[in-house]
Amino acid sequence: MAVNILIIEDESAIARFLELELTHEGYAVDKAADGREGLAMALARPYGLVLLDVMLPGLNGLEVLRRFRAESDVPVILLTARDAVMDKVSGLDMGANDYITKPFSIEELLARIRAVLRAGTAAEKRTAVLRCGKLSLDPARHAAAYGDVPLQLTYKEFSLLQTLLENRDIVQTRDMLLEKVWGYDYAGETNVVDVYIRYLRQKIDAPFGVKLIHTVRGMGYVIKGDGP
């Protein structure tokens, strides 16, 4: 499976150049040209890495990073202007994994991408692929599939499915799932768990004609299947 990279960059010549080079290296690439669109895309799909320009229309790169980090730990490399020292410092403080200063050589960027992905892989090496029947989820690659069919999951759907699979055959209460997937400080609707369980069933149980995600009345949810 190719690693998916999202490029958030408003300068179309640079974005196009990066797309060509990264595709040539075997990465799968998506592009966004402004901060809001980029943030929405980054949250809508579990990417392997995000390249994030700092000077962006709509929402600047640091604000995109701040909001993205509230939801996701997907690696981010910032593209910063030559003299923007503060951007680099704030960017790293805010959870960027690395930065590269424009103008940069593609070789240097590719090396940094490999290093960031390697660090992520090393950290997640102990995390084996999770399975339930034909359903598989690979935390290191942020990829899920049913048999050979890749599942298109949003970031929260992916986290919820991962949590259920990590606790396969063990009932998870709504509170446990809220805490693990949405965090201690979640202050939204408490039925958000039910809503996302429904999304997962629409993407897994319904299309493949199986029943993996079970409701345990008065308790919560559990994922279990007949297979290995």
Residues binding Ca ion (CB under 5 A): 10, 53, 55
DSSP 178: I
Residues 6+ apart with CB under 8 A from 132: 165, 168, 212, 223, 224, 225, 227
Residues 6+ apart with CB under 8 A from 14: 53, 79, 102
Q: In this complex, which beta carbon is closest to Ca ion, that of residue 51 or of residue 212? A: 51
CA 143-146-159 angle, to 5 degrees, is: 40
Q: In this complex, which beta carbon is closest to Ca ion, that of residue 5 or of residue 8? A: 8
Q: How far apart are CA 57 and CA 195, in angstroms?
A: 33
Q: How far is the CB of 87 from Ca ion (least distance, A)?
A: 11
Q: How far apart are CA 180 and CA 84, in angstroms?
A: 36
Q: In this complex, which beta carbon is closest to Ca ion, that of residue 32 or of residue 143? A: 32
Q: In this complex, which beta carbon is closest to Ca ion, that of residue 9 or of residue 157? A: 9
Cis peptide before 103 (omega within 30 of 0): yes
Q: How far is the CB of 64 from Ca ion (least distance, A)?
A: 12
In sequence order, which ranges of 25-154 are alpha helices (DSSP H)?
35-44, 61-69, 85-93, 106-124
Q: How far is the CB of 9 from Ca ion (least distance, A)?
A: 6
Residue with smallest beta-carbon separation from Ca ion: 55
Q: How far is the CB of 81 from Ca ion (least distance, A)?
A: 8
Q: How far is the CB of 12 from Ca ion (least distance, A)?
A: 10
Q: In this complex, which beta carbon is closest to Ca ion, that of residue 53 or of residue 157? A: 53
